Chain A
């Protein structure tokens, strides 16, 4: 996994609540057996019409929006457990997703792929949307070590939660499976104890 550093970037706002993983990556694109290439179909049915023409009003199709940060409405990533949603967002080039609320499984999946979910207050989220309405190149700084997010233009900041363990993993590029494989002796002892 890639190591995570501080990011300063403009962001792409999708001001819709309850964005479910079926929108992030529709089921018909889940037939691949590798992790790559899902970015092409990120938000497929919101991004393209049924003739495969880009829909001009969707933020990902608007040149004025760009950056490594995706900002979505409340309850982001609800629905299916498909990790493909996190793969699609990361594959598209995002490193951070900001929302005022994340679905649990999505949050785990994101963290397991080096994609940082940053949960902010409703008020802060609305400020982000308002800032990008005014200036689509408005920038956000996300500092994982300090657990801090800043709207650069105004200097407003908020702190966010992440478990100390997960932070360590992201900063160092470790993943859980390495940790578990190193714990094999303890797992076997646990099994032996239960029999």
Chain B
């Protein structure tokens, strides 16, 4: 029998049929929806006079457009409120489960899926949102789709999709203290660029990946889309099974054991062939920051912004444009640059482990006076747990504001925006022009780097606070 990659095993098991010279009809096990990319899809169903084919396989939440303060009050922005209300109406009409603002399970769609145990190994998962790749951390095929495709899934539980190529990225060895999974993914991005994996599905492997928690694995798969990949996945193992066990929608009891037996078969065969493969050494990774306007424009915190000469000639225009937007110079160091905003949140880094990481850095400290530091939990459940663990007290004492669950300042769509011209060290995933609000300047980093920067009021190498001696 021919050797298969994990990706092929899952994909092939979901092909309803293949069209010659065209895409596969792919069956979707689980579909997440939110308020922004679903209304036009439901409207399409209405126009055709049909209803959702498998309402039990779709889960909805409101996250992009919601305020992160006073969520018990009606949403002030009329258009946002209308969009959220439209989602509520559509879900009611079609019998889709909705975790809306008033529900204890509400949160960022890619945080709540795993947290509720809906996300499981071996599945196909889609959502009208590019960071659906997050779910791949559990060993499934998860990817973002457009609204026309949302309509297809609602109508038929299938989409038409060409099979991507396979890539494997191996991270071997041990991470230094102060270096976390966000740094791994920003490091890989700085090496392979934002188009390096276009047309591919990535499997992340290697000893450094194996040693990561589920939260940390999600951070990496989350940003696989920034490499241009359709998605990323990691073979499930005991860490995965332990995370899933006991969660609300996970299989229970004997059913769980049967599921684990099935999930254990989800790995790439030893001789499986990948179209492209990379190996990186974990020991070479340092805390990372971005200096430009796409997530591939990252450097080690101890390095300088690249020189113009080191950039390919045909990229000079874009490079200069992006430095002009960021108000940075070639060969400048970002260390000690003053920053007035620190945002800790988004589907990349807003899980309980991220908040604990931040709490460890800021415990007993105070943020610098110039900094607005806010922490936005990924879900109501994360918020609740943080409070149960007393993290809220630590944050408050340090002058950090703990908000309510939502996408918040990740995308400049709701009330939370970074003012024009301001730098923001952000744990989110995109530093595009205007992403956090018109004119906002985003520097992507790990929660540790963000927390350390808030304490010092300027971009800081967290290893200094941790007492790691550098050679």
Contact = CB atoms under 8 A, between A and B. Distances in A.
B25 A180 contact: yes
Interface string B109-134: 00000000000000000001110100
A102 B195 CA distance: 9
B146 A122 contact: no
B430 A163 contact: no
A102 B145 CA distance: 15
Among B86, B130, B145, B160, max chain A CB count under 10 A is at: B160
A187 B157 contact: yes
Contacts of B50: 181
Contacts of A78: 194-195, 228, 294
Contact of B439 (A20, A27, A50): A50
A18 B292 CA distance: 12
A171 interface: no
A187 B198 contact: no
Interface in A48-97: 50, 73-75, 78-84, 86
Given A104-B164, A183-B25, A186-B16, A81 B146 contact: yes
B149 A164 contact: no
Contact of A187 (B22, B27, B161): B27
Interface in A152-177: 163-166, 175-177
B434 A45 contact: yes
A187 B153 CA distance: 12
Contacts of B199: 104
B230 A165 contact: no
Interface stretch (B76-84, B361-369, B373-381): B76-84
Of A33, A79, A166, A181, most buried by chain B (CB within 10 Å of CB) is: A33
Contact of B130 (A74, A105, A179): A105
A81 B435 contact: no
Contacts of A35: 40, 147
Interface in A1-55: 15-18, 20, 22-23, 26-28, 30-35, 45, 50
A168 B195 CA distance: 28
A112 B199 CA distance: 18
A125 to B, nearest CB: 9
A126 B315 CA distance: 12
Interface string B136-156: 000000001111110110011
A75 B297 CA distance: 14
Contacts of A134: none
Given A112-B148, A187-B27, A75 B16 contact: no
A115 to B, nearest CB: 11
A122 B315 CA distance: 12
Contact of A163 (B21, B158, B412): B21
Nearest to A168: B22
Contacts of B195: 18, 74-75, 78, 101, 103
B247 interface: no
Contacts of B420: 50
B38 to A, nearest CB: 9
Interface residues of A, number: 56
Contacts of B39: 33-34
Contacts of A165: 19-23, 160
Interface residues of B, number: 69
Contacts of B434: 22-23, 26, 45
Contacts of B294: 18, 20, 78
A9 B172 CA distance: 52
A137 interface: no
Contacts of A108: 145-146, 149, 161
B411 interface: yes
Interface in B192-211: 194-195, 198-199
A14 B129 CA distance: 26
Instruction: Give the most central of A35, A45, A105, A191: most B CB within 10 Å.
Output: A105
A175 B315 CA distance: 37
A18 B311 CA distance: 15
B201 to A, nearest CB: 10
Interface of A: 15-18, 20, 22-23, 26-28, 30-35, 45, 50, 73-75, 78-84, 86, 101-105, 108-109, 112-113, 122, 126, 163-166, 175-177, 179-181, 183-184, 186-187, 190-191
27 contacts: A17-B318, A23-B433, A27-B411, A27-B413, A28-B412, A31-B79, A31-B80, A31-B413, A33-B40, A35-B40, A45-B433, A78-B195, A79-B130, A80-B129, A81-B128, A86-B146, A102-B198, A108-B145, A108-B149, A166-B23, A176-B148, A177-B152, A177-B156, A180-B152, A181-B50, A183-B25, A187-B25
| Among all A-B residue pairs, the 8 with the closest Cβ atoms | A165-B22, A164-B21, A83-B146, A33-B39, A31-B79, A81-B144, A109-B146, A112-B148
Interface of B: 16-17, 19-23, 25, 27, 36-37, 39-40, 43-44, 48, 50, 64-65, 77, 79-80, 82-83, 86, 128-130, 132, 144-149, 151-152, 155-162, 164, 194-195, 198-199, 228, 230, 294, 314-315, 317-318, 321, 411-413, 420, 430, 432-435, 438-439
Given A28-B412, A28-B413, A183-B158, 19 more contacts: A18-B294, A20-B294, A23-B434, A26-B434, A30-B64, A31-B36, A31-B79, A34-B43, A45-B433, A50-B438, A74-B195, A79-B430, A101-B195, A105-B130, A165-B19, A175-B148, A177-B44, A186-B17, A186-B25
